[in-house]
Amino acid sequence: MHIASGMLSPPVWGTMAVVSGAALAGALVAARKQADERRVPLMGVMGAFIFAAQMVNFSVPLVPGTSGHLGGGFLLGILLGPWLGMIAMASILVVQALVFQDGGVEALGANVFAMGVLPCLLGALVRGVWHGPRRRLAYAMTLAGGIVAVVAGSALVIVWLDCSHRIPAGVTFTQALSLMTVIHLAIGVVEGVVSVAVVRFVLASRPEAVWGDTALASAEEASA
């Protein structure tokens, strides 16, 4: 879902660069409390894993000729919290834009917002209300949250393309929005399923390294 170069108009990419820049500055300040000897290695490997996973495009279920890949911001929001999650996603997107020419350089702010800031906050929100031993509910919320994160990000991209006057005459905003979100609904289901699987795996192997570990660690114990 990386917006390519030349797709957004200067007011749109400029605004999003300022918004994402401010979010990242705040994240860097707030993340200082989070960066300890357990969480930094988890941030490193989860970031590397999301970069790797984004290279694996899969065929979108029910939409032939179309592929999708993991976003990962939602997953990082759950496991690392919003601040370290945003920092990790922004680092991935910068490497992709500058080294792999995937995603426009000027569109970085928009891409960081759609695939980093927004899904990381949603992941942290899900994680934040995830208390007690009701793990089934927590995983159902993770699945649903993954879908919402991808669809919301994809809808934002259409809004930005519309504001940039890139949607051709003869195509309505609603048509563009429905096509984009329907495709990303299918991609979002994969995102949600993978998020649940990875969260379960990391919680089973390193519960104490996960953001806001206390509620979860006791939940694991209660159900064990």
Partner 1 sequence: MTARNRHTLIAGALVALLVAGVVSYFASRNPDGLEATQVRLGIAASPDGGVAPPPSPFKDYGLRWLPAGFASNAVAGLAGTVLVLAILLGLGALLKRSRQTEATEATRSTLTLRSPLPQGEGEQRQSSRP
SS (H, E, C) 121-138: HHHHHHHHCCCCCCHHHH
Q: Which stretch binds partner 1 (CB under 8 A): 18-26, 38-46, 116-124, 133-141?
A: 38-46
The span of 18-26, 121-129, 134-142, 155-163 binding partner 1 (CB under 8 A) equals 155-163
* Residue 152 makes contact with partner 1 by CB under 8 A: no
Nearer to partner 1, 20 or 164 (CB): 164
| Binding test (CB under 8 A) with partner 1, winner from 12, 86, 92, 112 | 92
Q: How far apart are the first and last CA of the chain?
A: 39
Question: Is the separation of the CB atoms in 68 and 54 below 8 Å?
Answer: no
Q: At what angle do helices 73-99 and 173-205 cross, to 10 degrees?
A: 110
Asked if 25 is part of the footprint of partner 1 (rule: CB under 8 A), the reply reads no
Among positive and negative, which fits the CA dihedral 207, 40, 130, 218?
A: positive
**By CB under 8 A, residue 79 contacts partner 1:** no
Residues from 3 through 22 that contact partner 1 (CB under 8 A):
3-9, 13
User: Per this entry, what is the length of the chain?
Assistant: 224
With binding defined as CB under 8 A, does residue 55 bind partner 1?
yes
